[in-house]
């Protein structure tokens, strides 16, 4: 078996279509964790929504996703799930704008606790909508959100296993600095007080763990093995086979 693409958690896309309401709500919440930032940015850029309206629409969309069972209507043979989700968002927002309606939130899904202030601050640092294709922006923000989730999960896993230095090395070399400003392994060894060989070994181990966590999350967010592999190729480069 090729352990570069491990089979881990089941797809939440499948879970969101099941008959068990608890499983469905849990799956939609996982989708919300992964998609709310790109959805919020997309609403701010393509639909030119105010921050307040973008917050309300983002929250409302996941209610609609659950209560109207939109995930069950996804056809994996016609494209990727994230594209389908964006199209559902466009259709729903268009209808909301035409009817000047405001979603009445029922008991299907409680209001999610989301850090909109931080998302707005991130948007302010990015190029304006006139310089970016909204569809490409959605894809990029989705990927950025996935990597951010994976980094948080990695740091949590390293802390739980007593490997905080690995996470710190990963941030210092692979995450925080631009490529042209990366420290050398020798500089990292001096900074952390360990041999260069240990820096090499620990970075290798933490990169492998980061990849495993990212692919596990990606497996959750895709509906089929083909879609999973296509997304993985684009995110990580190269042929997964």
Q: How far apart are CA 133 and CA 139, in angstroms?
A: 10
Q: Sketch the domain layout of the chain as residue ranges.
A: 12-105+113-236
CB 181 within 8 A of CB 148: no
Q: How far apart are CA 229 and CA 222, in angstroms?
A: 9
**CA distances (Å), 152 to each of 44, 77, 157, 164, 224, in order?**
25, 33, 9, 12, 26
User: Count of CB atoms within 10 A of residue 109's CB?
Assistant: 20
- Entry pTM: 0.85
**H or E element in which residue 59 lies:** helix 51-67
Angstrom distance (rounded) from CA 61 to CA 178? 35
Rg (CA), the chain: 20
Helix axes 116-124, 51-67, angle to 10 degrees: 120
Lowest mean pLDDT among 45-49, 112-116, 144-148, 230-234: 112-116
Mean pLDDT highest for which of 14-18, 23-27, 30-34, 203-207? 203-207
Share of the chain above pLDDT 70, in %: 88
């Amino acid at each position: 078996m090729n352990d570069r693409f491990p089979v881990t958690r089941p797809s939440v896309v499948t879970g969101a279509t099941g008959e068990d309401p608890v499983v469905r709500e849990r799956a939609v919440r996982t989708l919300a964790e992964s998609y709310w930032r790109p959805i919020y940015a997309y609403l701010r850029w393509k639909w030119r929504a105010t921050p307040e309206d973008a917050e309300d629409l983002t929250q409302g969309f996941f209610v609609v996703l659950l209560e109207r069972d939109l995930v069950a209507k996804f056809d994996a043979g016609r494209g990727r799930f994230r594209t389908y989700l964006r199209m559902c968002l466009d259709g729903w927002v268009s209808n909301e704008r035409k009817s000047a309606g405001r979603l009445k939130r029922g008991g299907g899904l409680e209001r999610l606790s989301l850090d909109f202030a931080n998302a707005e601050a991130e948007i302010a640092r990015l190029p304006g909508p006139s310089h970016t294709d909204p569809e490409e922006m959605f894809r990029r923000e989705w990927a950025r959100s996935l990597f951010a989730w994976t980094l948080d999960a990695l740091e949590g896993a390293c802390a739980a296993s007593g490997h905080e230095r690995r996470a710190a090395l990963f941030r210092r070399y692979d995450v925080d600095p631009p490529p042209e400003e990366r420290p050398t392994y020798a500089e990292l060894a001096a900074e952390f007080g360990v041999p260069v060989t240990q820096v090499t070994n620990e970075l290798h181990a933490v990169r492998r763990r980061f990849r495993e966590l990212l692919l596990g999350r990606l497996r959750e967010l895709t509906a089929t093995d083909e879609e999973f592999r296509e997304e993985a190729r684009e995110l990580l480069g190269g042929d997964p086979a």
